[in-house]
Every structure is written in C-alpha cells, then in structure tokens.
C-alpha cells in the first residue's frame, strides 16, 4: 500500500500534512514510527485503571499526534474523549473510548500494509 492509499483508507489528509512536512518520505517515516508509539497503550491502561487525569493526558497527546500526522478520524475521536474527561471527570460514555480504539486499530493495520 502506498502512503496516499493509507491516508484514503483511514480518512486522513496527506495533502494537509504535506503543507507542514513537504517530504513524502519523511511523512512515511513518521507514520511508520507511529505504529510503535506508546501513547495509545498509556490511554488504554489509564481507562482500565479509571485514572481520569491520565486518560485526559494520554487522549490529549494522542489527539495532537493524530492532528500532526493528518489522522483526522483519530484526531476527532481522541478530541471527543479528551473533552469528556477534561478536569479529571469520570468517563460516562464508553463509546468515546471505543471509537478511539477502532480508529487506532484501523491506522495500525493500514501502517502494517505500507510498502
């Protein structure tokens, strides 16, 4: 799979990313590194522990990384989760975390298919 195909599959915006990083090879390097980024695992552990402050921090970090890489769906789902737990408020809508999980899985699976 080519980088452009990956972005189409995950609902991302490669053209917008190229405004910030005008080198497709460099973007590909960062995208591949994302698959090993520990932020999602920190988020999942914090949700399981019901540590809402840590959920906020991890979701906010994930939102920023997703925004920088043009992973629009993940950015939106992580943003919704971030706002839901802002101020260490307990998560009352589990579907917000489930959406982040779905978006994360889709991205990692697509990265694994990159040429």
Model confidence pLDDT, tens digit, residues 50-98: 999 999 999 999 999 999 999 999 999 999 999 999 999 999 999 999 9
Per residue in 11-48, pLDDT tens? 999 999 999 999 999 999 999 999 999 999 999 999 99
81 touches 4 (CB < 8 A)? no
Q: What is the pLDDT of residue 76?
A: 98
CATH code for the domain defined by 3-112: 1.20.120
Residues 40 and 27: beta-carbon distance below 8 Å? no
- Which pLDDT does position 87 carry in this prediction? 96
Nearest CA to 107 out of 16, 15, 33, 21 is that of 33
Q: In the chain, where are the structural domains located?
A: 3-112
User: In 1-115, which ranges are continuous DSSP H helix?
Assistant: 3-10, 14-20, 24-34, 39-49, 52-69, 72-84, 94-112
């Amino acid at each position: 799979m080519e980088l452009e195909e990956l972005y189409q599959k995950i609902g991302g915006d490669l053209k917008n990313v190229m405004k910030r990083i005008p080198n497709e090879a460099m973007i590909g390097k960062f995208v591949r590194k994302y698959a090993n980024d520990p932020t999602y695992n920190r988020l999942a552990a914090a949700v399981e522990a019901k540590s809402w402050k840590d959920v906020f921090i991890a979701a906010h970090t994930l939102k920023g990384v997703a925004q920088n890489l043009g992973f629009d769906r993940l950015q939106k789902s992580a943003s919704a989760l971030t706002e839901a737990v802002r101020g260490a408020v307990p998560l009352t809508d589990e579907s917000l975390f489930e959406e982040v999980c779905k978006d994360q899985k889709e991205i990692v699976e697509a990265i694994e298919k990159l040429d």
